[in-house]
Structure 1
Amino acid sequence: MPPSRRRPTGSAPTMEDVARVAGVSHQTVSRVLNDHPNVSPDTKERVSAAISELGYRRNAAARSLVTRSSKVIGVIITELEQYGPASTLLGLQEAAFRNGYFVSVAGLREKTRAAMLESVNHLLNQAPDGIVVVAPVQAGVDLFRTLELKIPLEIVASGLAPEGSQEQAARTAVAHLADLGHRSIAHLAGPEPWMDARRRTAGWREELAARGLPAAAPMVGDWGAESGYRTGLEFDAAAATAVFVANDQMALGFMRALHERGIRVPDDVSVVGFDDQPEAAYFLPPLTTIRQDFRSMGSYCIDMLLGQVAGSDAAGTAHEANAAGTESAESAPEPQGIAVPELVVRSSTAPPAT
């Protein structure tokens, strides 16, 4: 009589179901799943066919008890609605999947200790092998630096590595405008709590100072296109012939406002953005901007975390990737394989009108 293939309707198939369908023991199924060498090819084929037929999935919790690895990486991320953190998350996920890990994400909207602990506890309930924190705002970094965990922790304290690249990228943007002949270059900055916003403003000031050009007080937005639009409505086109904008979204709103006012880009005002979002090439005009390598940053952080998981660092040690101006529990090695930010020249910049 053939083995019964019936199981309760709606229930997930178990290892016992697989054994019954394949006509083998529970132990044999376990050996096949763990790629044990002492299993014949015919038996492996029968077990694999039963797994496929039933749609069996291994119980990750049970497996973790045996292997002491859940193959889960927890990610706590703030400001997920912004392009930089969201792109870094994509890099984290891609790198984790390549290494056989699943990513469990917990958002963090309030930068309070209670919210932090809630997110951490949510992830710890899934027994992750380690946690990555993406916190581009200093307050978030400071919160997580106080954590003491029994698993590795990696803090992405900024959007891009290596250290100093944000300032240098801003200087490259300003140098491009100055080399075109602009002598009055304004800056629309991101919100002050963001570390990258402060660094881009610092780079803008440094390049102007190096060229002996004046630096007026920067305008300030909130990263969104609407704040760029509002700023553009009030922008004094007589005061500057070029503007370095701290991200592409604000640049989009800024250029829209200039268009409505009859101020032409780049004929009257040149504009440079930052990030090279996919849409930047399709702005009107196409936006000159700084291209960042967010995904490689995410990949780098996964590599760092898995190094700790593998035992190359003490579990529980908090590393900070590109945390310029902060102290870390231990210095992380310089990132490798991350592209330096590069200027992408399009049609939103030109020499100033004579």
Structure 2
Amino acid sequence: MRDVAKLAGVSHQTVSRVINEHPNVRAETRERVLAAMRSLNYRRNLAARTLATRESHTLGIVGFETTLFGPESMLYGIESAARAAGYLVSVATVRELSHRPVLEAVDRLVQHGVDGIIAIAPKPAVTTALTHAPGGMACVAVGGDGGQPGFPTVRVDNAAGARLATRHLLDLGHPTVHHVAGPLDWPEAQARVDGWRDTLYAAGAVVPPVTAGWWDAAAGYEQGRRLAEDPSVTAVFCANDRIALGVLRAMHESGRCVPDDVSVVGFDDMPDSGYFLPPLTTIHQDFAELGRRALALLLRNLGLPDGDAPEDVVVAPRLIPRISAVPPRR
């Protein structure tokens, strides 16, 4: 810092203010200091800064080993929001969404001196483990159903998304809507079932049996083959876009045309969903907004002035209409 100060013709206190983005530095002085830093290839010592401030400016993320679009997108959204706010990120992944592995991941992050932790929490066991984080570590859960009262949570309103999808199909004129669900031990899948069922009840429509499976195209294909055998099926709401992809394949192989014979709606709005054949009507989840809201909530719980968010943040989804859902043929 002294070398930078000498080259820029300023005090080392001014260099410190520039590094820490203090507002009380004139623009021309700031640029002169930054030019000196570039000339000397100066990089601030983060370890020394951590010792001086007792803040690592690093956030921990607890994720889990998966290729599912939703959790992967949540991870990316959180990391992007943290980076935009000037934070480094340390990620600890678990193979199993249960109490012990999650708590061990939290312990690893605490040992690395993170300032706070954001965890992707599609199952209640994750949030429960976070409540036992050591040393009063500030934690925020992303996903799930907000089932831990008083625990800071950011989530998509999955029931509202299911209502949007089901209502859209009913408004097109379909007498009822069949649902291919995700695994019902996931609160997000159960919330989508609840939203679908409540909408059918409110409309006075027949409520078909729920068919549940995993979050992949293979599960959708299996259930789609069964649904294709029933000529009364004209509309299917799928718990995610990958399931919908399997249903589209099954309908095609059975000779039932989508959307002329059967309308299909998904959930997630994967980047590829607009390129399915036909392009998929789906429910959009704003994962970037989830990341921003999670970061704001964590900053609030760290007592920082940039944090301003309620304890339970619910992000509204929206319908993306495409051509996989049309009125039924008369």
Question: Which bin holds the TM-score, normalised by the shorter protein?
Answer: 0.7 to 0.9
Aligned-partner SS, 2:249: helix
- Cα contact 2:100–2:129 (8 A) shared by 1: no
Contact kept in structure 2, 1:159 and 1:294, CA below 8 Å: no
Q: Cα gap change, 1:45/1:237 in structure 2, threshold over 3 Å: closer, same or farther?
A: same
Alignment of 1:350 onto 2:289: no
Deviation at 1:123, TM superposition (A): 1.3
CA shift, 1:115, in A, is: 1.8
Cα–Cα, structure 1 residues 112 and 194, in superposed 2: closer, same or farther, change >3 Å? closer
Deviation at 1:28, TM superposition (A): 5.8
**Is 2:220 the partner of 1:228?**
yes
1:244 matched to 2:242? no
Contact 1:237 1:269 in 2 (8 A): no
Q: Which residue of structure 2 lines up, in the alignment, with residue 284 of structure 1?
A: 277
Instruction: Quickly say closer, same or farther: Cα 1:148–1:39, change in 2 above 3 A.
Output: closer
1:134 to 109, 116, 120: 120
Of 103-112 and 284-293, more deviation after overlay is shown by: 103-112
Distance 1:137 1:214, change over 3 A: same
Q: CA distance change for structure 1 residues 60 and 256 in 2, over 3 Å: closer, same or farther?
A: same
Matched, 1:77 2:63: yes
Report the RMSD for the aligned CA atoms in angstroms.
Answer: 3.2
Residue of 8, 31, 43 corresponding to 1:57: 43
Question: Residue 32 of structure 1 is aligned with which of 2, 11, 15?
Answer: 15
CA deviation after TM superposition for structure 1 residue 264, in Å: 0.5
Aligned position for 2:92 = 106
Counterpart Cα distance in 2 of 1:138 and 1:85: 15
Larger radius of gyration: 1
Take 2:327 and 2:283, find their aligned partners in 1: how far apart are those partners?
A: 19
Matched, 1:255 2:212: no
Residue number in structure 2 paired with 1:271: 264
Give the AA of the match of 2:214: D
Letter in 2 for 1:222: W
Q: Are the structure 2 counterparts of residues 302 and 120 from structure 1 closer, same or farther at C-alpha, using a change threshold of 3 Å?
A: same
Amino acid across the alignment from 2:237:
F
Report the residue type matching 1:127 in the other structure: G
Question: Which consecutive residues of structure 1, in runs of 5 or more, have no partner in the other structure?
Answer: 1-14, 313-320, 322-330
Cα distance between partner residues in 2 of 1:348 and 1:41: 55
If the length of structure 2 is used for normalisation, what is the TM-score?
A: 0.84
Give, in angstroms, the shift of residue 163 of structure 1.
7.4
SS of the residue 1:278 aligns to: coil
- Following superposition, the deviation at residue 39 of structure 1 comes to 10
- In the alignment of these two chains, the number of paired residues is 316
- Report the TM-score, using the length of structure 1 for normalisation: 0.78
Q: Give structure 2 stretches of 5+ with no counterpart.
A: 147-152
Q: Which amino acid aligns with 1:131?
A: I
Letter in 1 for 2:52: V
Identity of aligned residues (%): 42
Do the aligned partners of 1:138 and 1:157 also contact (CA within 8 Å) in 2?
no
Give the distance between the partners of 2:283 and 2:28, measured in 1 at CA.
57
1: distance between equivalents of 2:137 and 2:154? 25
Give the equivalent residue in structure 1 for 2:149. Answer: none
Alignment of 1:90-169 (within 5 A): 90-158=76-144, 165-169=157-161
1:147-191 alpha-carbon deviations (Å, 9 max, x no partner): 343321111243898878321221121111112221132100011
